[in-house]
Every structure is written in C-alpha cells, then in structure tokens.
Amino acid sequence: MAGWGRYPIVIAQALQARGIPVVCIGVKDHADPQLRNYCDHYVELGMGKLGAASRYFRRHGVKTATMAGKIHKIVLFQRDFLLKHLPDWKAVCTFFPHFASKSKDRKDDTLLTALADFFDREGVHFTPATDFLPELLVKTGVLSRRKPSASELKDIRFGWDLAKEMGRLDVGQTVAVKGRAVLAVEAVEGTDLCIRRAGELCASGGFSVVKVAKPQQDMRFDVPTIGIGTLESIVAAGARVLAIESDKTIIVDQPDVVEFADRHGLTIVALEDEAVAAQQDAA
C-alpha cells in the first residue's frame, strides 16, 4: 500500500529484483504515477475505499502486505475530503469512532493501527517494509563530510528529548532548534513544512533539525524517513544540521542524499537513542 514519495518505488524495485510478485494499491493523490511500472498488478484507490482494497488484495492472493510512503494527513481536514475520497461501508465501520462518534482520537498511530487491524480481520497481515529491505535503516555515525560542532551537538541533545516527547504524545517526530531554543515542532503539516517554518522564524539560519522515532514506534508504519526532498527543505530554510536516529530511520537513496549534503555543506549525523541519553546524563 503506497503513499507519497520515492520510498514505495524503492521497495517495489527491491521486491521485483528478488523475484517477488508485487501487488500494489496506490493511494489516490499520493502515489507516484511511475510506481505502476514496478508492479505486477497496480490500482489507485481513494483513502476511503477499504472494501475495494481488501477485495483487490484477495483477488490477487495477497496474505502479507506492507505500507510505504507518506500520507498527507492535512487532506483529512480539507472541505472536499469526503467527496474526493468517498468512504465505502467498510471504511465507515472502521473509522466511525474516529470521525463520526468521535469516541476515539485521530492520532497517526491510532488511525494506522485501526487500518492494520482491519486488514488483519480481512486475512492480510501488515509487516514492516524494512523486513524486506533492512539495509535502508541508517547506521550510527556521521554520514556527511562536515561534522557537527560542539554547539550543534548541544542543540542536538537538547532537541532529542523534545522530539522524543513529541513522538511519545504522537504529535510529530521532528523539531528545529538553535541555541537550545525551540524554533518549530512538527505536527500535522509534516517534516518539510516544519523545517521551512523554522527557516521563516529564524532568518539567520544555521539551526539544527532533529528527527527521531517515537518511543513506541511501530515499525509497520510511520517510520522516520528522509530523502533528497528533506535536504532540499533544509537548504531552503537555511539549516545546517540534520540529526536522525540510527537503526530506526530510513534513508531513501542514501548515496545521493550524502552527496547532496556534502555539496551544500550540510551535516547529517545518525545517533543511538541510548548514547544521546547517556551524554545527557553525564552533562
């Protein structure tokens, strides 16, 4: 099940290279049209077509599935959302507590867990995409030529706890920090707009962006992911540092990402949560 970005294409290409048939449902207004070129069977469906999605998977004998790519949550708050993604009966039943009776919240984890539970009942088990392509998870270390300065390391440690707390609350996974002051916190707008907002608020630039996994991260979905687009937002905003969590963050097209960072004088550093916590305790 594919959302926005290049990540679904990378997954589809890897599966095909291993001789695994790829059956894909591209989310309407999200999935890259090029994705169909890397799938054995492909259909595009609106977010409200759960019944149609289940029938499509069943028709092609799918028992195991994965989610890849971002879903722009802001579409849920657009005025024409229901008309554009007219939900079928199974979607209504699944998400009634979240959108109608409002007895349950609309946090990312809540909605995605409800989606995964629905497919489980339909006989389709969702598994982490990194099970198929574990090499996409970044390893600990400084990826770029430029290393973080002492003051930038202080900002990273400062922002790390804040980002973890925002993740624990299921608000967002990214914060922008300068001089141990918070410039922006990611919410429904997503990482790129959070970074660009920080640039608008900090005209002098030179700030650090910290993106981490949630403490309760479900690796089946919403795994922190960066690519060239993330770095383009960092350059446009005037940031200098991107700190990410090793073994829990996906870098799409890592060689290209590192080359882009070096060309623009950016720092990318991947850190272990336990190591950052130990440094904070020592401080």
Task: Answer yes or no: are the C-beta atoms of 155 and 208 closer than 8 Å.
Answer: yes
pLDDT for residue 95 = 85
> 33: which residues sit within 8 A by CB, 6+ positions away?
none
Pairwise CA distance, residues 171 & 174, whole Å: 9
Residue 281 pLDDT more than 60? no
Residue 267 confidence (pLDDT) = 98
Give the per-residue pLDDT at 119. 95
Q: Which tops the pLDDT comparison, 282 or 205?
A: 205
Q: Classify domain 7-131 by CATH architecture.
A: 3-Layer(aba) Sandwich (3.40)
Q: Per-domain residue ranges for the chain? A: 7-131, 137-282
Residue 13 clears pLDDT 70, i.e. is over it: yes
Please give the average per-residue pLDDT across 79-87, as a whole number: 70
Q: What is the pLDDT of residues 145-164, one digit of tens each?
A: 999 999 999 999 999 999 99
Task: Please state the CATH superfamily assignment of the domain spanning residues 137-282 in this structure.
Answer: LpxI C-terminal catalytic domain (3.40.140.80)
The reported pLDDT for the residue numbered 109 is 85
Tell me the C-alpha distance between 173 and 249, whole Å. Answer: 11
| pLDDT band at residue 222 under the 50/70/90 scheme | confident
Location of structure tokens 């920090």:
177
Tens digits of residue pLDDT in 223-243: 899 999 999 999 999 999 999
Nearest to 276 by CA among 190, 206, 213: 213
The shares of helix, strand and coil residues in the chain, as percent rounded to the nearest 5, are 45, 15, 40
List all residues 6 or more positions away from 282 whose beta carbon is below 8 Å from its beta carbon.
none
Instruction: Tell me the C-alpha distance between 252 and 227, whole Å.
Output: 5
Average pLDDT over residues 253-278: 92
Closest to 206 in 3D by CA, of 258, 266, 269: 266
The residue behind tokens 């300068």 is: 178
Task: Specify the DSSP element, H or E, that contains 107.
Answer: none
pLDDT of amino acid 106? 82
| Predicted structure pTM score | 0.88
> What per-residue confidence (pLDDT) applies to 97?
87
Res 130 pLDDT > 70: yes
Contact 99, 115 (CB under 8 A): no
| 84 pLDDT tier (thresholds 50, 70, 90) | low
